[in-house]
Amino acid sequence: MLTISSTTLDFLEALSAHNNREWFHANKAFYQQARQDFEKFIEKLLQRVDEFYPLGLLRAKDCIYRQQRDIRFSKDKTPYTTHMSAIIAPGGKKMTHIPFYLRIKPDGVSMLGAGAWECSAQQLYQIRQEIDYNPQPLKDILAAPSFRQYFGDLKGERLKRPPKGYQEDHPDIAILKQKEFYAEHILTEKEYRAPDFMSYVVEVFLAAFPLVTYLNHAWVEAE
């Protein structure tokens, strides 16, 4: 399967309009087929990504997030997410390395991404050290035409003040203020419905792979 199936997209659109347990349980077979199709797409994607980013023994089920939302501490009590998404990295959802990310959401923002978000304090410290000691490779990555074409600027939450141990006049303070370091490519409907969407995903992931490689030097060391 080289694209997202119409069954998956139709299910997500229907779920967006009927986000309640009664409808979901009445349409369980619809959901199971949509999920199975998405798993097939992710299995193929894992094979393609493994060619340039070794993933180890990884299955689609290790990478795809649950449809059920954790609503215990949320004001939004709708029980299900209206997208399907997957983390593509060694370890899958238990990622041990910098991940790629895919989200399909027909009623909202579909996107591809890669990088570090929700870092631990140690991971953030290690990434900032890497930038402090060796900033030029990262600058080259962010300035590369392929990166600029698909992602524009580095995304993620930023500090208003310099992080501990760094001064405002540090030459790379703009990057060091980042709390997250990721690339994000918003998908159009035409792109995620394309007959060979798989190849487009790989193309975008390859554009982000230098960032993944750079961040892995610091992020994995912090594990």
CATH of the domain at 104: 3.30.930
- Asked if the structure places residue 96 within a domain, the reply is yes
Number of domains in the chain: 1
Q: What pairing do the DSSP bridges indicate for beta strands 84-88 and 181-187?
A: unpaired
State pLDDT tens for residues 19-63.
999 999 999 999 999 999 999 999 999 999 999 999 999 999 999
Dihedral over Cα of 104, 105, 110, 116: its sign: negative
- Asked if the structure places residue 146 within a domain, the reply is yes
State pLDDT tens for residues 67-122.
998 877 777 789 999 999 999 999 999 988 999 999 999 989 999 999 999 888 89
**191: buried, middle or exposed (CB in 10 Å: 19+, 13-18, 0-12)?**
middle
Q: Is the pLDDT of residue 3 over 90?
A: yes
- Asked if the structure places residue 1 within a domain, the reply is no
pTM of the shown model: 0.94
Nearest in space to 89 (alpha carbons), one of 185, 216, 2, 3: 216
What CA dihedral angle connects 191, 42, 108 and 11, to 10 degrees? 110
Q: Is the pLDDT of residue 124 over 60?
A: yes
> Quick one: pLDDT at residue 222?
47
> Quick one: pLDDT at residue 220?
63
If residue 101 lies in a helix (H) or strand (E), which one and from where to where? strand 100-104
pLDDT band at 144 (very low <50, low <70, confident <90, very high): very high
DSSP 105-142: -TTS-EEEEEEE-S--HHHHHHHHHHHHH-HHHHHHHH
Q: What is the mean pLDDT of the chain?
A: 94
Mean pLDDT of 135-149: 96
Q: Is the pLDDT of residue 223 over 70?
A: no
Give the domain extent around 24. 6-219
